[in-house]
Amino acid sequence: MQVLKIATAGSVDDGKSTLIGKLLYDTNSLTEDKIEAIEKSSKSKGYDYLDFSLATDGLVAEREQGITIDVAHIYFSTATKSYIIADTPGHVEYTRNMVTGASTSQASIILIDARHGVIEQTYRHFFINNLLRVKDIIVTINKMDLVDYDEEQYNTIKKDFMALAAKSDYDEQNITFIPISALKGDNVVEKTDAMPWYNGQTVLEHLELLDTEDIYTRGKLRFPVQNVIRPKTDGFHDFRAYAGKVYGEDIAVGDNIIVLPSMKKSTVKNIHFYDKQFASAPHGSSISIELENDINVSRGDMIVKENELPTIDKDLTATVTWMDSKALIAGNMYVLQHGINKVLAKVVKVNHTIETDFSGVESEATSLEMNDIASVTFKLNKPIFGDMFKENRANGAFILLDKNNNNTSGVGFIE
């Protein structure tokens, strides 16, 4: 079974809902009762086309104000794949929502209005996709019908975007451009005759061919221990297995491992998934493992391969995106959650803020407001077992929790 997670973001009126709606409609993913509801609502608003935002804007306040407030998840499937779209709104909490959507996505759709070309919002969206190392970017140049399907306009936008991409340090990223009209359905699911100069794929054709590899594929094996399984029942008296999810490369029976932070060595004896045993397990699998030696392992420990240690450190510098209306202030203390592991983190210094326009401008700061991105140095009460985010997406990110109200206030990417 293949599941592809996609993030979409854009500014108001760029046709995002229409694009998603068209994808759902043309893949027969909208059932009759949902289409009826959309028709009814579109009619009552006086539109002469189907307003697909009803399929995505689930909250009363969203429908009242005609805006999307919160990330919505939309599902559709084809014969080859199941798709999960994280539809992230682009206003007040834009960075927070985009980062959230992109964090679980393998691909991202960036919408550009063909009449307006590359705008500041495009910069920000692309920057965040780079920051989060989203592998596949699909730049859909929408509303081509409103510029007479002009090839030159398409080429100009493409050139402007490529100039932006040249400033990115993420070389393995795949960027694809598709000229579309979401409203007319041009190049969304079906190829259009309106743009004979375009020989590429439609949006859906492109999605169908994308690799669904999990975002955790990259990097060395990391196995954070979630629970210790000790049934203490007849037949399982001495059974002791460590439950967790595999990140990075496969884990296999016979692997020589080391347990952090105790640094005790052992070998993988058995790999269990439910009532069966396996010789190896890939990234993304929630398994339990038995070790050859009787050593002390508990929740929060991390099992890695002997020669592939992460950085074990109490000093930490990371790129932080702030997501809370209460500012991050130098000197404050937060709970830092790295995977399943929690430590206390004191903000030693806000090194500098980072602009999302690829200008490279760095400004001094001592605090971070919502949507700000900055390099921040922390002092931890206990070491975490981290990797650089750019090298290991699974083990290079953490969230910051406000100790007073338990909110998830920020996200960090280890530098």
Partner 1 sequence: MTDKLNVNPLENEAIHIFREVASQFERPVLLFSGGKDSITLVRLAQKAFHPAKIPFPLMHIDTGHNFPETIEFRDRLVEELGVELIVRNVQDSIDEGKVVEESGRYSSRNILQTTTLLDAIEEFKFDACIGGARRDEEKARAKERIFSVRDDFGQWDEKNQRPELFDMLNGEIEIGQNVRVFPISNWTELDVWSYIEAEDLEIPSIYFAHKRDTFVRDGLIWTSSEHVYKDDEEIVDNRWVRFRTVGDMSCTAAVLSKATTISEVVAEIRDSKISERGARIDDKRSEAAMEKRKQQGYF
Write out the binding residues for partner 1, residues 42-71 only, by CB under 8 A: 54-61, 63, 69-71
Residue 338 C-beta: closest distance to partner 1, Å: 8
Return the closest-CA partner of residue 141 out of 96, 93, 94, 200. 200
- Do the Cβ atoms of 386 and 316 come closer than 8 Å? yes
Part in contact with partner 1 (CB under 8 A); list of ranges 98-106, 147-155, 168-176, 301-309: 98-106
Residues sharing a CB contact under 8 Å with residue 284, sequence separation 6 or more, in sequence order: 214, 216, 245, 246
- For partner 1, the binding residue among 165, 333, 335, 344 (CB under 8 A) is 335
Query: Does 214 sit near partner 1 (CB under 8 A)?
Result: yes
Q: Six-digit token pair at 143?
A: 């509303």
Closer CB to partner 1, residue 64 or residue 169?
Answer: 64
- For partner 1, the binding residue among 67, 119, 164, 243 (CB under 8 A) is 243
Query: Does 339 sit near partner 1 (CB under 8 A)?
Result: yes
Part in contact with partner 1 (CB under 8 A); list of ranges 13-21, 140-148, 164-172, 337-345: 337-345
Residue 8 CA to residue 127 CA, distance in Å, equals 14
Binding mask 384-413 for partner 1 (x = CB under 8 A): ----------x--xxx-x----xxx--x--
Closer CB to partner 1, residue 179 or residue 339?
Answer: 339
Closer CB to partner 1, residue 104 or residue 351?
Answer: 104
Residue 129 C-beta: closest distance to partner 1, Å: 14
Return the closest-CA partner of residue 229 out of 241, 215, 219, 216. 241
Query: Does 231 sit near partner 1 (CB under 8 A)?
Result: yes
Contacts with partner 1: how many residues (CB under 8 A)? 80
Residue 192 C-beta: closest distance to partner 1, Å: 27
Residue 403 C-beta: closest distance to partner 1, Å: 9
Residues sharing a CB contact under 8 Å with residue 195, sequence separation 6 or more, in sequence order: 144, 149, 151, 179, 186, 187
Q: 273 - beta bridge partners?
A: 276
- Do the Cβ atoms of 262 and 301 come closer than 8 Å? yes
Write out the binding residues for partner 1, residues 181-210 only, by CB under 8 A: none
- Do the Cβ atoms of 219 and 393 come closer than 8 Å? yes
Write out the binding residues for partner 1, residues 262-321 only, by CB under 8 A: 271-275, 277-282, 284-288, 299
- Do the Cβ atoms of 336 and 400 come closer than 8 Å? yes
Q: How many CB atoms lie within 10 A of CB 256?
A: 12
b (16+ CB within 10 A) / e for 349-363:
ebbebbebebeeeee
